[in-house]
Structure 1
């Protein structure tokens, strides 16, 4: 029988010096669930590039309150029910997402745009995040984790997986068509590659050569090393190679990284009628996308779409390919104390796939 004994204190990771990658593990009081809430013992939490951007204060003008607990890709076990909770059960595994809760009754929520609800609570941004061992969350908004699924592999899907799953849907592609993924070996890109293959798409992964074998391993049909193209005429040469590899250009491109340069090159990599789906949020200043001028958009019938995470239904749907064994998120599991090191590795571009923190281990 499961042990649902709840301690008085638990460990949490805070951003100890906002504007840097510094973090600190501290003791916090374990909260009591209120009406409609559940207490979750977090076992795993994915580390998203947005966590890095929030910690280093490079996400626009967003600033965190002092002592913020970050994280928004948490998986854990329900250990206590608040008054009136019937939607969840003790011992059930659930996921906690970027949007921790929304009102579910406003126009935005009813249309499925819960991330734009004016009453939304955001995990790790003004609201307690998942980089802690115990967390109270809205029972209705928690995502059920399918039986038999590895918690460490489910965690990154609760933000990264939802995001690219929805982005691929927005691309409106058909089986047999090409999708280019800028940052194909990164956290979002590696998930996008696997989801794209379940949809019958051909994938052109664009990344650093150190990630070529990794991208092919997870299903990329072709790989484009962007470092081969520099100097005068580099962008045209890159576009020519992309068109050669895809037989005329990708039908759509997902920019999954945070590089403004990737956006500048994107429209030249798609064919007539192609679509650019904007996923990654550039850090600092974000200049206009090169080529996004009326003449080019009209004459080449191009489309640019933006996408931002997803809703409760998307969270459930993106977990199904994992439960069916159709995708295998490439994760490295690290202890809580490694978060600063993970952020530094992110900044250096050394991470392949996703890193997940084991919230039961300090070292």
Structure 2
């Protein structure tokens, strides 16, 4: 395929006032690929709650404040339009569709990379945080780490799989829940949660109890949850006792085999451990904002007596991203999303802050 004509300038969305909910569409130079890099003409990018945390500087886990002018985004899909030197062995060619994830590059030489855990590479670069992200029309990616997008799936649907999809898939695997067992998805109607419900119920044979705001009940049930629990119907001052009782009642009277916390709310973490049965696992996925809070109920005594486990799960590996996209290609999962233009991003983040978003928003970068 002949190389397309590449413009000198492009549209991009930056965080113009980090620490606040504010973005701005600007014109930037189109970069040139360096050694081992490809240039990608991005057409779609998902919008993630992680982008919100980066923009507002509310993630204490990040080492430094976000810089003004940062191009955000880490769920980008587009076509390769230029190959830099040293990419001959990558197998990529002009016109191939590829994606950029939260971890935009991994070193391949550290302990996690050698163990197949490149999602926690010690030398990783994060897309949209000090590395230009996917809220732009042209972006660079390492030829040996961009994610191939399979034929038969739309770029808009594929984009959220590059963070939301692979993140919850990896988390469900870390839960060690087996087919036929009960898993609670906390934040089940959100961008991560509704995909987690689908992968768990339709892809892994798990029985799902979805927990979220009552307005998201239809989405959670249609995604495959066997039961929906409206969190707004439970008291906030009983240390989660009523919620625990309800989940245990639904899960054979014993509690869930696993709880995957997809929301960033500290309250969800406080409620998680009591919902487990013996030998159960809580998987921490959503990163709470501001000062981190401990899981109130995770006392050594209760965990010892019940043989319970608390584990964390960041984004998945490169191979898990490919496996997640194959779930999409096979029709096992489907992204519930709406499309927006680049100039609507501030409004999208405002909805996110107010907890009103259902599913995912995907930006049309044209």
Q: Please give the range of the TM-score, normalised by the shorter of the 2 chains.
A: over 0.9
The alignment status of 1:243 with 2:253, answered yes or no, reads no
In the alignment, structure 2 segments of 5+ residues that lack a partner are none
Partner SS, residue 169 of structure 1: helix
The alignment status of 1:332 with 2:338, answered yes or no, reads yes
The alignment status of 1:147 with 2:151, answered yes or no, reads yes
Paired position in structure 2 for 1:253: 259
The alignment status of 1:178 with 2:182, answered yes or no, reads yes
Paired position in structure 2 for 1:131: 135
The change in CA–CA distance for 1:296 and 1:36 in structure 2 (over 3 A counts) is: same
Query: 1:30 and 1:318 mapped to 2: Cα distance?
Result: 30
The alignment status of 1:319 with 2:321, answered yes or no, reads no
Deviates more, 1:176-185 or 1:60-69: 60-69
Give how far 1:174 is off: 1.2
Paired position in structure 2 for 1:355: 361
Partner SS, residue 71 of structure 2: coil
Query: 2:80 and 2:204 mapped to 1: Cα distance?
Result: 33
- 1:177-216 alignment to 2 at 5 Å? 177-197=181-201, 198-216=203-221
Give how far 1:89 is off: 0.8
Task: Summarize deviations over 1:152-204 as a string: whole Å, max 9, x none.
Answer: 11101101111100000001111111100100000111110011011001110
Query: 1:113 and 1:234 mapped to 2: Cα distance?
Result: 36
Counterpart contact for 2:9–2:29, Cα < 8 Å: yes
Paired position in structure 2 for 1:29: 29
Partner SS, residue 44 of structure 2: strand
Paired position in structure 1 for 2:41: 41
Give how far 1:118 is off: 3.6
Give how far 1:119 is off: 2.8
Query: 2:165 and 2:279 mapped to 1: Cα distance?
Result: 26
The change in CA–CA distance for 1:118 and 1:253 in structure 2 (over 3 A counts) is: closer
The change in CA–CA distance for 1:293 and 1:231 in structure 2 (over 3 A counts) is: closer
Runs of 4+ in 1 over 4 A off after TM superposition: none
Query: 1:337 and 1:168 mapped to 2: Cα distance?
Result: 35
Paired position in structure 2 for 1:20: 20
Query: 1:229 and 1:342 mapped to 2: Cα distance?
Result: 28
Query: 1:285 and 1:240 mapped to 2: Cα distance?
Result: 30
TM-score, with length taken from structure 1: 0.97
Deviates more, 1:103-112 or 1:147-156: 103-112
Query: 1:231 and 1:97 mapped to 2: Cα distance?
Result: 36
The change in CA–CA distance for 1:139 and 1:178 in structure 2 (over 3 A counts) is: same
Partner SS, residue 35 of structure 1: coil
Give how far 1:3 is off: 6.9
Paired position in structure 2 for 1:91: 95
Give how far 1:2 is off: 7.3
Query: 2:140 and 2:300 mapped to 1: Cα distance?
Result: 49
